[in-house]
Chain A
Amino acid sequence: MKRIRVALAGNPNSGKTTIFNMLTGARQHVANYPGVTVEIKEGKCTYGDYEITFVDLPGTYSLTVYSTEELIARNFIIEQRPDLVVHVIDSANVERNLYLTTQLLEMNVPLVLDFNMSDLARQKGLVFDIEKLSELLHAPIVPTVGRKSEGRSQLLEAIVKVAGSEKTDTSRLVRYGSEIEEELAKIEALIDAGENKIAEKYGSRWLAVKLLEQDEEVAAKVAGKELAEAVSNSVAHLETIFKDQPQIVVADRRYGFISGACTEAIKSTVEARHSISDSIDAVIIHRVFGLPIFLLLMYVVFFLTFKLGAYPMAGLEWFFDSAAGWLEQAWPAGSMLWLKSLLIDGVIAGVGGVIVFLPNILLLFLGIAFLEDTGYMARAAFVMDRIMHKMGLHGKSFIPMLIGFGCSIPAIMATRILENRRNRLTTIMVIPLMSCGAKLTIYALIIPAFFPEYLRGPMLWIIYIIGIALAVIAARVLRNTLFRGETMPFVMELPPYRLPTARGVLIHMWQRAWMYLKKAGTVILAVSIILWALTAYPKPSQESLSGLTPQQAQQAELEHSIIGRVGKAVEPALRPLGFDWKIGTALIGATAAKEVFVSQLGIVHAVGETDEDSVTLGDKLVKEYSPLTGFCIMLFCLIYAPCAATLAITRAETGSWRWPIFQFTYLTVLAYILTLFTYQIGVLFM
């Protein structure tokens, strides 16, 4: 068995992911490469004697240092040296897509060109002289239709063939005209003269072109005063000749090369006419209807998420309840009670409490995957751009924030679509302010308990609005302080509308859901067990419990436990917010997962089967606290420390502990200050 490693490169919207799915099916996973913060997926496939590993690089238009994605794609090709690169090209847009090809040719990597969506190109009336074009570009071309899995074996055949044959030098295929070539020759000579290993690794031609394009990363790598001087001389010289920056002239020449190849080998048989996409866009991004249509679609997604999700959710709740009940019953009396308690109160309560949200999450992801695959999401970003700009964010930031109403974890993962790191970090920092599904369980406990029927709807609305308003303010503040910098100008391609395939949408949905499940199985499981232990231990002595009713005993045990002690210890700090130590323990518990607040409050107030006069938790709360405290609980829970899983994902996505620590601190401080004000001012009027 021979092994080949293939990198998939291509523009956003070229159908690269579809091709990746077509080649590897379900055999894929997220690969970890050192220093790479963007997700890179890897998949395998066997073909004949070969085991081929495919690496799905981020979608890029080019290989400059302008965005993280491009830098990652480029460094992957240079550092990891894949055996070859498959460049996935949107056949209906060959000219613009080939821009990336010219750079891959210059990097001198073995190359296979995949002309994807060739059916759409045919519909557009484009006829390719494949043989001719592949001769001009020095790379085999394989037409495919990823959506229908057409052309899979031809593509694999081409990959195997290129991997097994001698590579011809393509680094000089694109010529830049005598003036630029002269300067390039000078720079190249200097690079070759300097005895650095870099030239071997990158190729001196590529380095020279990059230096002329004023690529900062390459400039930093190829040190040398003489060289730097020569480059700046050349740049100045070319600027006077062309009256333009050299990199623009370079880009222009690349397009010239492409255009030459295309006129020879591509014929258009049909005159371009108004496409269906144009007609749909006339409505979808209409200046008046655009926003209402967007809001309506989002409403439908949320409605379906919660409406349809309610049934399987009830099923899962029943399942975990009966599992707990069954364990309670079947457990041999008196033996290893701690293990029983660990399983029931720790594992089932903790992990079960999170997994019950899985149907909601799946449906939400399904809806979003569907909207993404149709091409609508790009339009949504466009429609929202105006509003988001006021926050100092980008239209695209809206999508992750929206997902944040479901759960922060997938929302933070979804920030990967943002190219600009400052934008991305700002978005990650404010996502926890969106009221997620878990916080909803807290509101669902407090609101009916403290507020009369007619105030319940408005109360819930107010809490959600406070979260959104705070997110807006926080984003603005962060963009003007910590993440100061030019707002990324909005440039985004609007892909043509496509009917998504069930397979594509399901793979999409599943990949995200799987991450969620993995978190539930790891982080949340671990935290649940720790919290359980902190709540259960140390136990008071048996003598001190004698003579107490079961509730009193439970209460005494809790006060004796670590959580109880910590709750007592922080009580003085929480008093000014209107909270007592019981709420304190619940707040600490809820840092594991926000739902824990409700169950923890239940434990502290000793509501259980042992209660004779079956009062609900809500009734108990009303007896002990004022509606003002109730509101303050919601306000504090909305804002303070994101749950452990959110912090973990923030760490994973930002690549440093600094950001989750910052997130934790600023949100907790903000929650404290706002709740303090609310309570103290509220008390004056009560």
Chain B
Amino acid sequence: MEETTLKPLSQVPEGRTVVLVRIDAGHGLNNRLAAMGLLPNVEFRVINNHHPGPFVIDLKGAKMALGRGMANKIVVSEV
């Protein structure tokens, strides 16, 4: 069986594609992110990982900027 490693999105280097596992946040924020298309099992690509500063991902062709705090709360596994 293949070992999948979980890590916060903030540690994913640029250019990688990942699958969202969970978001460690309250249900308000979870709801909001779900509405924007960020929910478990969704695949997306990291376009820009500035250090420090926000973060850009490509989610089904739309670009989204996330704050670093946000990127720490999102747990993903690399594909």
**A residues touching B (Cβ–Cβ < 8 Å)?**
61-62, 64-67, 92-93, 95-96, 99-100, 124, 213-214, 244-245, 247-248, 251-252, 255, 272, 277-278, 281, 285, 287, 378, 381-382, 385-386, 389, 395, 487, 489-496
Contact = CB atoms under 8 A, between A and B. Distances in A.
Contacts of B32: 61-62, 64, 66-67, 491
A248 B39 contact: yes
Given A92-B61, A490-B67, A494-B64, A382 B54 contact: yes
A277 B63 contact: yes
Contacts of B29: 66, 489
A278 B30 CA distance: 27
B65 interface: yes
Contacts of B60: 93, 95-96
A255 B41 CA distance: 11
A95 B61 CA distance: 10
B62 A93 contact: yes
24 contacts: A64-B28, A66-B29, A95-B37, A96-B36, A96-B60, A99-B37, A124-B61, A244-B40, A247-B27, A251-B31, A252-B34, A252-B41, A281-B63, A381-B65, A385-B65, A389-B67, A489-B67, A489-B70, A490-B70, A491-B64, A491-B66, A492-B65, A493-B36, A493-B63
Interface of B is mostly: mixed
B57 to A, nearest CB: 10
B29 to A, nearest CB: 7
For the complex of A and B, 6 pairs with smallest distance between CB atoms: A490-B67, A62-B35, A251-B34, A61-B35, A494-B63, A489-B70
Nearest to A268: B61
B19 interface: no
A99 B35 contact: yes
A213 B60 CA distance: 25
Contacts of B51: 287
Contacts of B33: 491
B34 A247 contact: yes
A490 B39 contact: no
Contacts of A287: 50-51, 53
B59 interface: yes
A491 B36 contact: yes
Contacts of B31: 62, 64, 66, 213, 247, 251
Nearest to A124: B61
B70 A378 contact: no
A285 B66 CA distance: 13
Given A62-B35, A96-B59, A252-B40, A490 B64 contact: no
Nearest to B25: A489
A255 B35 contact: no
